[in-house]
Structure 1
Amino acid sequence: MDSDFEHLRHKPPTVLDKPRDLIIACCPMRSNVNVSRIVRAASCCAVSKVIVCGNVKIDPKIARDGAEKIPISKHRSLAPVLRDYKKEGYTLVGLEQTTNSHDIHHFAFVRKTILVIGNERLGITEEILSLLDATVEIPVYGMPYSYNAATATCMALYEFCRQFPGG
């Protein structure tokens, strides 16, 4: 064994100078656990904001530091919010399996993106789908046909960060 080789268990994280131009927008979700996991992952990826709808409660034990560090914007309805951001030049990308969805492995994100996450059972509504610029899906190799909403969001966040490692 090489005596010069050392494992660092908790090396300091890479911290960006400012949050990314990436926003997560969640359709009304059934599970506060999923939303809390999304908030935690969004914080790890330096997302600038998380938009939530409906009666959402973020569990600080699950979201951990994310609940305190990332702005969370609560709204009654998602469509008007997305329309406003679209006017500001954001690209709206839904994480959803649709007829024209792109395989996430071959999709080029733009920096100024809102990643829209659908309801765990119902997905993204027709109203919201009509506002999107694109949809991406994550290939599934077994059953069921899709990943859990929070898990899929983590994968999509990772891919966005891979494409824009410096922010």
Structure 2
Amino acid sequence: MEDPDFEHLRHKPPSALDQPRELIVACCPMRSNVNLSRIVRAASCCAVSKVVMCGNVKIDPKIARDGAEKLPISRHRSLPPVLKDLKKEGYTLVGLEQTTNSTDIHHFAFDRKTVLVIGNERMGITEDVLSVLDAVVEIPVYGMPYSYNVATATCMALYEFCRQFPGG
């Protein structure tokens, strides 16, 4: 029997962070408006400080929802110079990619001040971007195909960062 005083709230207000997140999502050029828009929406839900992107893909506001309007987004021609500048500002650059030296995300401790670098849907993170990263994490895959969709993997990585730093 359900407690008559118990109320289910469908949309409860977001939790306040103890401090702003020092997490930036940086996207290599994407092929899909849908994937990029899903990444922006997830980034907004996780209260990232900014999204950096390259390429000509557009954000669909119907998919990104409030993230398209409220989240600072910057566009650049090339990602490596931006990443090098962020590294000088003290950010740790972490790629989300399967490489020979990548670390299982379940065993990776993020730094509070992190740039999460997301690769292209087909090509992943290019060599010129990989060469400036401090670390690379991967999400284990237990079936086929060998990797998750880029937007899905980004959501998983953002969730793990937030799990490690729930208060910001």
Q: TM-score w.r.t. structure 2 length?
A: 0.95
What CA deviation, in whole Å up to 9, does each residue of 1:99-125 have, x standing for no partner? 110110110000100000000000000
Map 1:14-163 onto structure 2 (within 5 A): 14-16=15-17, 19-163=20-164
Residues paired across the two proteins, number: 167
Write the letter of the residue equivalent to 2:35. N
Q: CA deviation at 1:26?
A: 0.2
Q: CA deviation at 1:13?
A: 1.9
Write the letter of the residue equivalent to 2:122. R
Q: CA deviation at 1:15?
A: 3.0
Q: Distance in 1 between matches of 2:20 and 2:67?
A: 13
Q: CA deviation at 1:165?
A: 0.2
Matched, 1:8 2:9: yes
The answer (yes or no) to whether the contact 2:19–2:167 under 8 Å persists in 1 is no
Q: Distance in 2 between matches of 1:127 and 1:34?
A: 22
Q: Report runs of 4+ in structure 1 exceeding 4 Å deviation.
A: none
User: Could you tell which deviates more after superposition, 129-138 or 8-17?
Assistant: 8-17
Q: CA deviation at 1:29?
A: 0.6
Q: Which residues of structure 1 form unaligned runs of 5+?
A: none
SS of alignment partner, residue 73 of structure 1: strand
Q: C-alpha root-mean-square deviation of aligned residues, in Å?
A: 1.2
Q: TM-score w.r.t. structure 1 length?
A: 0.96
What CA deviation, in whole Å up to 9, does each residue of 1:31-79 have, x standing for no partner? 1111110000000000000000011211000000000000100000001
